[in-house]
Amino acid sequence: MLIGVLKEAGAGERRVAATPATVERIRALGYEVVVEPGAGAGAGFSDPAYETAGARLGDATGADVVLGVGAPPPERLGRLRPGATVIALFAPAADPAAAAELARHPLTVLSPDAVPRISRAQSMDVLSSMANIAGYRAVVEAAHAFGRFFSGQVTAAGKIPPAQVLVAGAGVAGLAAIAAAGSLGAVVRATDPRPEVADQVRSLGGEYLPVAPPGEEAPAATGYAREMDDAYQAREAELYAARCREADVVITTALIPGRPAPRLITAAMVAAMRPGSVIVDMAAANGGNVEGTVPGERTVTENGVTLLGYTDLAGRLPAQASQLYGTNLLNLLRLLTPGEDGVLVLDQDDPVQRSVTVVLDGTPAWPPPPVAVSAAPAPAAPAAPPAPEERPPSPRRRFAAVALAALVLFLLVALAPAALVPHLTVFVLAIVIGYYVIGHVHHALHTPLMAVTNAISGIVVVGAMLQIGHGGPVVTALAALAILLAGINVFGGFAVTRRMLALFHRS
């Protein structure tokens, strides 16, 4: 089968559905690939690069499978070969009416942005890939508009405090924004209606701001945020009103699948912010989280707050975005090509394939049946019954063991040569003292203690080397064995110590 890669028709769209790297891997699945001339120019991929990867240049509308980023316009869909399969971001959840219109064409339409959030579909999750890039780019745009340091500075001219960043929504985009802002040295705080993201925020160096009191928050059942009740929204408004006044940068990412973006920041909250503050509304394309945001535009309020409503944040890093998007489509094609023979097979019994199917051979197939998804933390396992308490050995048994050990030691001393007795005494005392010393050392001190054991092992090596060749073959054999074992301890100790210390070095 022939796969065609479209040149994007949308104004300002610089991404491409396949890169030279993904073209090679698509061809490994048995497909032939045709790329429209100039399709990758906006992302920095030249036509010769595609030809080197094994693709040919030409018209992609006659292909069996057509790949695109944005949804092709109706006139372009009409030029496709009847029965072809089109894979692009049609966003059927946001516009069900447009999804129904697609059925007017004798095509099979797949929309990878409808991939369910289940474990085995993560490699095809286009929304997460693009949100990750958009969250990073949102911080870059905010830093450019802010025009000041994000990190704190102490100079001869005075002290500069770090920027205060508030992230509304800790999904994929929000977490990427938290990581990027934190890496620039800002103080980052974040809020989200899903309590399970609190640990993720903290792991990236941010501070999680809960809206609801502990115990009243409910985990999301789908992995996405959901619309909250009036009481929650009232507490949320109080939190944002208080935090926006002290924030230098606010980044909003809140979206509800299939619904307009919730309004989080009101005009009054914007008016209370300091002049020079920046708000990046990442939900501008869906109506915006911030009152006054203009989709696709940069506006400045009367009190000097900059509102960024850019809707192409992921496309502002076109090479990286194209590579990730192309990899997502490649993984989807792998799922659709079970025989790796260049034949696309669409299995409607597979929940992933069924979820992305908008139109099947000209028949509407949207919406798909719901997929059971749970992002809630796993319930805690029931506590194991307490182990039966071990009774200490009886005093009679302990006295018998001590008496037996003393008898063995007495016989050993009585039969041993006189020169061996002091050495044997030191050996036994070293075993006893070493057992109690090492057994009571905290785990955090094992690495420093290993340096001491290396020194002791070194003394053993030196002593054993002095015994080789003296006292007969038995002494020589024992000395060689001592050198071997002590040498293993020394070199192993240094290797482990080096690896432990490497954990504290920053790459």
Residue of 224, 243, 263, 320 with catalytic role: 224
First and final C-alpha spacing in the chain: 46
Note whether 331 and 75 are within 8 A (CB): no
The residue from 113, 125, 248, 281 that is catalytic is: 125
Q: What is the DSSP string of 337-389?
A: -TTSSS-----TTSHHHHHHEEEETTEE--SPPP-----SPPPPPPPPPPPPP
Given the residues 111, 128, 277, 353, select the one marked as catalytic.
128
Name the nearest CA neighbour of 23 among 7, 4, 42, 43.
Answer: 4
Using the structure block, give the residue that is written with the tokens 């054999």.
477
Establish whether 224 is a catalytic residue.
yes
User: Using the 8-state DSSP alphabet, how is residue 108 labeled?
Assistant: E
- Cα–Cα nearest to 324, from 132, 149, 144: 132
Query: Is 396 assigned a catalytic role?
Result: no
- Which of these is catalytic: 117, 137, 194, 354? 117
Beta bridge mates, 65: 3, 85
- How many residues are given for the chain? 507
Find the catalytic residue in 46, 79, 95, 122: 122
CA-to-CA distance for 373 and 226, rounded, in angstroms? 14
* Bridge-based pairing state of the strands 32-35 and 2-5: parallel
Other Cβ atoms closer than 10 A to 267: 11
Pairing of strands 298-300, 278-281: unpaired
Contact 264, 290 (CB under 8 A): yes
* 125 a catalytic residue: yes
111 is catalytic: no
302 neighbors 295 (Cβ within 8 angstroms): no
Q: Is 64 a catalytic residue?
A: no
How far apart, in whole angstroms, are the C-alpha atoms of residue 475 and residue 195? 68
233 touches 265 (CB < 8 A): no
Residues annotated as catalytic (active site), given as ranges: 117, 122, 125, 128, 224
